[in-house]
Structure 1
């Protein structure tokens, strides 16, 4: 069975964001399994007809999000879900809580703001 990363670029969003979102979605859904080796930056850029810097920016964002991990000359791989993403989410939540408190929001108001943002992002 041959597995391939599928990325389709359209005019809706910035190309690097489309690459980032599509690879993240495929990794989170299991369409691309943990440990799968991604194409090189240059290889994917050539395949998509984009500049290597565009793909590199997407890969940096994915690595920052804990979706992929770079293993030096060995390549770039889909990272195990959970640990890095959970740490990043906890850090973001902590920063938000501190900022909300500095702004003078009470607990209920801060929670309402988070719930509204989650509904806007995830739907329902």
Structure 2
């Protein structure tokens, strides 16, 4: 995984572990991180982001619980094969992703109309 892919806004109301989890989940589910790609160690990513190792560890635990990554002693943490898609998206997951996006867009100074417009453009592909 190349450096600088994950960013954390410490002024955001979204907890840092959730920002990390949501960004990595998006990178995995969109294929930007492929199966078997190696993720940085908890300590390395924490140092890169200037966060406590426990924060990154929590994000990794949640990604592992969602079957998006797997950690093996000696082999590190790697992207797992994507699980079969659920019949319906989890509303809580969608809400969490939306909160992260909105928080990051607001730090850029985006208005509500600009945020909605960006989402519509992304949906159109």
**Common fold: TM-score over 0.5:** yes
Give the match for residue 54 of structure 2.
53
> Structure 1: how far apart are the matches of 2:94 and 2:39?
27
Give the match for residue 17 of structure 1.
18
Q: CA deviation at 1:121?
A: 3.4
Q: CA deviation at 1:65?
A: 0.4
In terms of Rg, which structure is larger?
1
> Structure 1: how far apart are the matches of 2:26 and 2:70?
16
Q: CA RMSD in A?
A: 2.9
* Secondary structure of the structure 2 residue equivalent to 1:69: strand
* Secondary structure of the structure 1 residue equivalent to 2:38: coil
> Structure 1: how far apart are the matches of 2:19 and 2:2?
17
Give the match for residue 69 of structure 2.
68
> Structure 1: how far apart are the matches of 2:78 and 2:2?
13
1:121 equivalenced with 2:119 (yes/no): no
Q: CA deviation at 1:73?
A: 1.9
Query: C-alpha deviations, 1:75-116, integer Å up to 9, x for none?
Result: 000000015xx6xx69xxxxxxxxxxxxxxxxxxxxxxx89x
Q: When the two structures are aligned, how many residues end up with a matched partner?
A: 93
1:4 equivalenced with 2:5 (yes/no): no
Structure 1 segments of 4+ aligned residues over 3 angstroms from their partners: 120-123
Q: CA deviation at 1:51?
A: 0.2
Query: C-alpha deviations, 1:13-40, integer Å up to 9, x for none?
Result: 1000000000000000000111001000
Q: List runs of 5+ in structure 1 lacking aligned partners.
A: 91-113
Matches within 5 A, 1:64-103: 64-82=65-83
Tell me which protein shows more helix as a share of its residues: 1
* Secondary structure of the structure 1 residue equivalent to 2:37: coil
